[in-house]
Chain A
């Protein structure tokens, strides 16, 4: 599980039902910059200092390592905007995910949508999905089992109602 905590907002406006969940991100931009730039400054100052004395082979390793750190923070930044939205509006059921740079979407007819919840392996994740025309789509990836079961119950009543 790569997801952290979830902020869930469920609301209804003009008859539509919206359920959105996001992973937790506690990293602030200031903390990210402080940690990254202080480490980069420390590593490169040391490496350049030794390179100046002729021991230049530390420099490429410092570059590789700081590059890896930069990649890690970049991935975290990308993930910061991740969300999962479920909208039930009239006969439309719209699922939308934002994951990194990708936005994906699936729409199905409310009358055909079926909720499936599989909690067959104790101690492991429950799997909640919406099935339509033989094709299952997993939802609630940022939720824990308890919240998934609650969402499943909520969806069943919404889809049948």
Chain B
């Protein structure tokens, strides 16, 4: 017998238990759960920072924080919410759902999948530990603009390292997702038959791979400017700080879509289920998603109209940004058309999905307002921008995550969640979220700048309303935690189909989905 044959013998089938199970797991469901728990923990961490920020802003003057700590809180809140909550949560969904939806037994590279997750907590540790280092955490904003980012202390270097690690995790995850989707589809499951969630993740992974080297290069140049005497962005040495903004936003605008495209995918699964109709305009949804991804590469400078650029450039970036409203409008139209004359029921996932459609559209419209260069120059760095991106990322990305959790949790755990608690969570979240962020439009229009711990007296009322809303929104997330824990622990048994109108391979499996699934691929007709 050859050595190779020996190697084939005696595969270790003793499965580790306890902590080792989670450290060494290569199972896509385990890793999906790890991503989702990580995201939930970081949501509470970054959410607590948001509550501290809002508590400070309850009234003018300095109450709880000093200005530097306030800036640290806003910076870390942004960095953690983006890289520690939204992206890992969507990766969790991808890990759980993509193989199940494709009829695949696991991801294409399970060991790389394990690594992609386990380096994330290391990055989170590096970010968090900087609060206790001399000079505190990074305080220059999540965008890491020089010159502030070149001048800070040791925590800035740690943040650069953390960003590298998170980027590496994203690249490994993206390569895994692309290869899984392309190579492990069940026979008969052509690209144009794939669930829309899988399509949106395929395009998201493509965007991530396309843009991550830009971020990695940009932060490395910051690092060399800080430590090795280069002057890429250091104006004192002839560098160009504005160029950092160009490079950063060349990465970060596609990143914005990385944060929202999987949300489109989740909502496109939820709405047809509870409308009991197939998704309206499936092909147009795919093309609209691809169009949004392509356009994301040519709009970056709308984030920096105020740095000064030629009128032709302003016009180009203004119109290209407005163009994004077309495919986005196609999507919103299709979601509404799917619901039109459907046999709708309003379980918690559907409520979050409908809230997503309504509130994300508000965020989209305020984005259109900001796309107009002369208006943006007035509103740049005001609370209007804060209102805009929170409508996109909270009622957009975060609400879609809630919709997805409520939708698939019975399949994952085998138990139905408590619908009453789910509805309480929904209504408190949606009311709280609007109380926090809607008044910020008025604050911004009135001229209140963002990232300040103190403000002029005339902004007090709207700030107080926003702070009340923030605490309602923040504490209502504890209901979500209770719902998740109760569902894992027990509850009514979930059927295999779970939802009457649900379609797709994942619903053909038992609930909870067994540890190993689709080892032999199903055939899709």
Contact = CB atoms under 8 A, between A and B. Distances in A.
Interface of A: 1-6, 24-27, 31-32, 35, 39, 42-43, 46-47, 50, 53-55, 57-62, 64-65, 68-69, 72-73, 75-76, 95, 97, 99, 102-106, 118, 121, 123-125, 127, 129, 135-138, 141-147
A138 B10 contact: yes
Nearest to A144: B519
Contacts of B2: 104-106
Nearest to B186: A5
Contact of B232 (A54, A62, A145): A54
Contacts of A127: 11, 13
B184 A53 contact: no
Given A3-B519, A104-B4, A144-B519, A73 B210 contact: no
A59 to B, nearest CB: 7
B110 interface: yes
Contact of A50 (B13, B214, B521): B214
A125 B310 CA distance: 64
Contact of A26 (B11, B171, B175, B184): B184
A72 B108 contact: yes
Nearest to B27: A1
A123 B175 CA distance: 29
B189 A104 contact: no
Query: 10 closest Cβ contacts across the A-B interface?
Result: A5-B521, A58-B217, A104-B4, A144-B519, A61-B213, A27-B183, A62-B213, A61-B216, A26-B185, A104-B5
Contact of A97 (B8, B224, B232): B8
Contact of B520 (A5, A39, A106, A118): A5
Contacts of B110: 1-2
Given A4-B104, A35-B182, 9 more contacts: A31-B182, A55-B232, A65-B171, A65-B213, A76-B108, A97-B4, A99-B8, A104-B8, A118-B13
Contacts of B282: none
A26 B189 contact: yes
B243 interface: yes
Given A5-B521, A26-B187, A72-B179, A46 B250 contact: yes
Contacts of B10: 136, 138
Interface residues of B, number: 55
Select the residue from B209, B212, B515 with max chain A CB neighbours within 10 A.
Answer: B209
A144 B15 CA distance: 18
B289 to A, nearest CB: 16
B217 A61 contact: yes
Contact of A4 (B9, B105, B212, B516): B105
Interface string B79-114: 000000000000000000000000111101110000
B7 interface: yes
Contacts of A147: 520
B206 interface: yes
A124 to B, nearest CB: 6
B311 interface: no
B4 A102 contact: yes
A55 B412 CA distance: 46
A160 to B, nearest CB: 23
Contacts of B210: 39, 42-43, 46
Nearest to A47: B213
A42 B522 CA distance: 35
A57 B13 CA distance: 45
A6 B521 contact: yes
Given A55-B247, A58-B218, A135-B1, A65 B209 contact: yes
7 contacts: A6-B521, A24-B186, A99-B4, A104-B3, A104-B7, A124-B516, A143-B519
